[in-house]
Structure 1
Amino acid sequence: MRTFRNILFWIHLIVGVATGLVIAIMSFTGVVIAFEKQLIEWAEREVRTVQLPAPGARRLPVEELVERVRASGSEGQPSGVTVYPEPTSAVLVSIGRGAVSYVNPYTGEVLGNGATGLRGFFQWNVGLHRWLAAGGDNRAVGKAITGASNAVFLFLAISGLYLWWPRKWTLRAMRPSLWFRRGLKGKARDWNWHNVIGFWSLPVLIVLTASGMVISYKWASSLVFTVTGNTPPATKGPPGSATVKVPAPEEETPRQPLDVLIAEAQRTSPTWSSATLRLGGGAGGGKEGVDAVTVTLREADAWPLFSSKQVSVNPFSGEVAKQETYADYSSGRKLRTWLRFLHTGEALGLWGQLVAAIASLGGVFLVYTGFALSWRRFFPRRRTNSEPGEDAAAQSEPAV
């Protein structure tokens, strides 16, 4: 048992040093992007609101609003439209994958692209978190490195628990590992911080890293479906992302206005709080049919908090072809979706995001203290007198 503990300790130390920098980057960026949505909403609070010209004022067609954005010279092509039930809310037009434009639904005035600097800052940090901000062909390499480092972090968390596990469950033996001690310096302080932060962060870090593996690796995502007795989805991308097909019209038929398609989807949910339509649809043909238009509805007081309703509408007839809510998911897809939003803490709202951010910050300190302890182990300073408290910590530290 002692030999196994020694071997595990050195593996823990070596792989921690080898991947520590990437783990620190992922942990730090996890803190930075924890409240991305809330901060962007706050920064764009003024441009999101317009003045109502008169009660019951007529809104311009969604197609016209999209064309106004195209004509404004925005870089990239509009990819989606989001409308809100409040009469004083602007319409949000998504451009590509990261940019947006707000449009006055009554006048067609393009109000601007929101907090572009803040959005760019978060987008860069998300790229750094996911693939080390690599671009082009190097993005796959960056993603492989972050995925492997996340898996190593999970191993470090579990092996760290084993190494922490006290031989005697007494308050005196456990106290140095359960709370911060005053007056410590150098090695004693780093050892105390490493153990205390690791202990209290451990449950959340295991959830964050395990859910990160499901996001990073197809086999891990498929395993979620397998263990719940479901068949893993064959299509690429998130579960449920496959396009719904509807029969192609036998004769040439004009497409229904986007307002009609959105309104048809809204009728399925009286409590909708936002409706997002992905531009496109109607593509394809032949035996498989054409792509339906997908409208995603967020509903007030929905549970789980991240749940939404996907409504697929025939772009030519305007009829609802399919509705899908969280309740319709298989048990595997439900678990997979929970893991996706547990990774960011959003599954539990603001408190969940706060806990995830604190644990991620703990990950930064774990890397720092781990590096410091490793440096002192490999390059010990020779001196006659120890700093106050260092001897006491040395007695508590596992002799490996």
Structure 2
Amino acid sequence: MRLRVHTLLFWPHLVAGLLAGLIIGVMSFTGLALAFEHPILERADRETQQVAPPSPGTPRLPVDELIARVRAARPEAQPSAVTEYPDPTRAVTVSTGRTGGVYVNPYTGEVWDWGASGWRAFFHLMEDWHRWLGAQGDNRPVGKAITGASNALFFFLAVTGLYLWWPRKWTWRTLRPSIWFRRGLKGKARDWNWHNVTGFWLLPVLIVLTATGMVISYKGVSDLVFRLAGETPPTAGGPPPGPPIHVPVPPPGSAPLPLEALFVQARKQLPAWENITLRLSGGGAPRGNAPQAGPRPGGNEGKAEARKEGLAPSTFAIRETGGWPLFAATQVFVDPYTAQVLRKDAFADLPAGNRTRRWLRFLHTGEALGLTGQFVAALGCLGGLFLVWTGFCLSWRRFFPAKPGLVSSGDASTSE
């Protein structure tokens, strides 16, 4: 019976590997390249972000003035988010789109471009290939469909591979060739040993990477996360809407407060803040979206009711030093006319489905567990490359076996 099931699973396993192997190889390579993107960029750009230590008592320029300096220095740029840090020697970051931005000296208003341009271009290219196979514009949905299907096949390969790996007898003699690398092997025996050992040790990582990848790729799988938590899935991408936030209608003729006044209020919410980000609309006015400069902690919560009146709260994402989870941020909704805090949502305040969905997002990259998690994710991607290579080699040897007399002595010890 087991032999029949083994044969029944072996051929779909082999065919799935041949169909998706090249794409899995591309995704594994680019995933490996992207594993340490943020630590590398932060280290490479560290000096570029620094400003000269100010003299004691030197005041910081208001946030509104910093944004005005950016517009004057880069008329073609459209500020989309602003992030500040408590370190007095670190520049303020102003994002100007999905991948662009500038630094601003908070004391002088000097504006300069982000550094590490070579690294940024490299990671941007790797992300394009990892998500869309390098496709651009209208072709991106096609590329996304191919990578999503290949990721699903990789998940299938991981699950079926476990059954195919399972030894008939649990003895050290039969188990050792499948769980540890052996020296002196050549040809098919070497490929079989490498394929099985890599799959055995990295199977949990590969299942996590592929399963979380399916959550990201397919809305139906993402919706399942919310349904299992007893929640209604969002109608579009991102987390579902939360309770409405009522922004009081200001007196006629009232104007929004300066952004600096809103930042003053936001800074008071978490004394041990690590950075504070405010997403901006096209005109620089506050906008009630989660910021892009960091992980999105709360999505579009509470905007619908405010928009009925044409008003939306200013939404700050505040990262706290030593906070947990590492990717979490607290969202603070502020009345743009009075600077009153309308609501404060910590990560623990989010619904269970929302929290789970965010964990899955950052488990996929390993960032949920910091550098250790990123290293494990990188190891999984490296293992994916090994599995693709050895899988192709084993398939080639199966369909195009070596002529009698050319088979190495190591091949004779290989089981089917």
**TM-score under structure 2 length normalisation:** 0.91
* Structure 2 partner of 1:22: 23
1:130 is displaced (CA, Å) by 1.0
1:252 is displaced (CA, Å) by 2.1
Please list, as runs of the form range in 1=range in 2, the aligned pairs for 1:316-331 lying within 5 A after superposition.
Answer: 316-331=337-352
SS at 1:312 equivalent: strand
* Structure 2 partner of 1:132: 133
Residue 360 (str. 1) matches residue 381 (str. 2)? yes
* Structure 2 partner of 1:265: 266
Residues 354 and 240 (structure 1 numbering): CA distance in 2 closer, same or farther, change over 3 Å? farther
Residue 348 (str. 1) matches residue 349 (str. 2)? no
Greater Cα offset, 302-311 or 241-250: 241-250
1:289 is displaced (CA, Å) by 3.9
SS at 2:316 equivalent: strand
Contact 1:243 / 1:291 at 8 angstroms: preserved in 2? no
State the alpha-carbon separation in 2 of the partners of residues 221 and 188 from structure 1. 41
Alignment gaps of 5+ in structure 1: none
State the alpha-carbon separation in 1 of the partners of residues 240 and 385 from structure 2. 32
* Structure 1 partner of 2:355: 334
Please list, as runs of the form range in 1=range in 2, the aligned pairs for 1:221-300 lying within 5 A after superposition.
Answer: 221-239=222-240, 246-280=247-281, 281=286, 287-300=308-321
* Structure 2 partner of 1:85: 86
Contact 1:245 / 1:288 at 8 angstroms: preserved in 2? no
SS at 2:80 equivalent: strand
Residues 4 and 154 (structure 1 numbering): CA distance in 2 closer, same or farther, change over 3 Å? same
Residue 10 (str. 1) matches residue 31 (str. 2)? no
Contact 1:131 / 1:143 at 8 angstroms: preserved in 2? yes
* Structure 2 partner of 1:71: 72
Residues 137 and 160 (structure 1 numbering): CA distance in 2 closer, same or farther, change over 3 Å? same
Residues 186 and 348 (structure 1 numbering): CA distance in 2 closer, same or farther, change over 3 Å? same
Greater Cα offset, 58-67 or 7-16: 58-67
SS at 2:174 equivalent: helix
Give, as a single letter, the amino acid of the residue that structure 2 aligns with 1:314.
Answer: D
1:260 is displaced (CA, Å) by 1.3
SS at 2:137 equivalent: coil
State the alpha-carbon separation in 1 of the partners of residues 239 and 33 from structure 2. 24
State the alpha-carbon separation in 1 of the partners of residues 240 and 185 from structure 2. 50
Contact 1:245 / 1:289 at 8 angstroms: preserved in 2? no
Residues 120 and 70 (structure 1 numbering): CA distance in 2 closer, same or farther, change over 3 Å? farther
Residues 269 and 387 (structure 1 numbering): CA distance in 2 closer, same or farther, change over 3 Å? same
Greater Cα offset, 266-275 or 383-392: 383-392
Q: How many residues align?
A: 395
State the alpha-carbon separation in 2 of the partners of residues 176 and 224 from structure 1. 38
Contact 2:232 / 2:240 at 8 angstroms: preserved in 1? no
Give the root-mean-square deviation of aligned CA atoms.
1.9
The one-character-per-residue Cα deviations of 1:223-245 (angstroms, maximum 9, x if unpaired) are 11111222222343345699956
Contact 1:248 / 1:289 at 8 angstroms: preserved in 2? no
Contact 2:287 / 2:315 at 8 angstroms: preserved in 1? no
Alignment gaps of 5+ in structure 2: 289-303
* Structure 1 partner of 2:410: 389
Residues 8 and 349 (structure 1 numbering): CA distance in 2 closer, same or farther, change over 3 Å? same
Residues 265 and 116 (structure 1 numbering): CA distance in 2 closer, same or farther, change over 3 Å? same
1:388 is displaced (CA, Å) by 3.0
Contact 1:261 / 1:313 at 8 angstroms: preserved in 2? yes
1:279 is displaced (CA, Å) by 0.8
State the alpha-carbon separation in 1 of the partners of residues 244 and 63 from structure 2. 22
SS at 1:82 equivalent: strand
Residues 227 and 381 (structure 1 numbering): CA distance in 2 closer, same or farther, change over 3 Å? same
* Structure 2 partner of 1:146: 147
* Structure 2 partner of 1:312: 333
State the alpha-carbon separation in 2 of the partners of residues 4 and 288 from structure 1. 63
Give, as a single letter, the amino acid of the residue that structure 1 aligns with 2:269.
Answer: T
Contact 1:243 / 1:292 at 8 angstroms: preserved in 2? no
State the alpha-carbon separation in 2 of the partners of residues 286 and 381 from structure 1. 71
SS at 2:46 equivalent: coil
* Structure 2 partner of 1:218: 219
Residue 369 (str. 1) matches residue 390 (str. 2)? yes
1:36 is displaced (CA, Å) by 0.6
1:259 is displaced (CA, Å) by 1.4
1:269 is displaced (CA, Å) by 0.6
Residues 243 and 343 (structure 1 numbering): CA distance in 2 closer, same or farther, change over 3 Å? farther
SS at 2:397 equivalent: helix
The one-character-per-residue Cα deviations of 1:246-284 (angstroms, maximum 9, x if unpaired) are 244241221111111122112111110100110123699
Residues 235 and 385 (structure 1 numbering): CA distance in 2 closer, same or farther, change over 3 Å? closer
Contact 1:292 / 1:313 at 8 angstroms: preserved in 2? yes
The one-character-per-residue Cα deviations of 1:82-114 (angstroms, maximum 9, x if unpaired) are 100111111011110011211111111113222
* Structure 1 partner of 2:176: 175
Give, as a single letter, the amino acid of the residue that structure 2 aligns with 1:212.
Answer: G
Contact 2:54 / 2:88 at 8 angstroms: preserved in 1? no
State the alpha-carbon separation in 2 of the partners of residues 291 and 131 from structure 1. 34
Residues 159 and 292 (structure 1 numbering): CA distance in 2 closer, same or farther, change over 3 Å? same
* Structure 1 partner of 2:190: 189
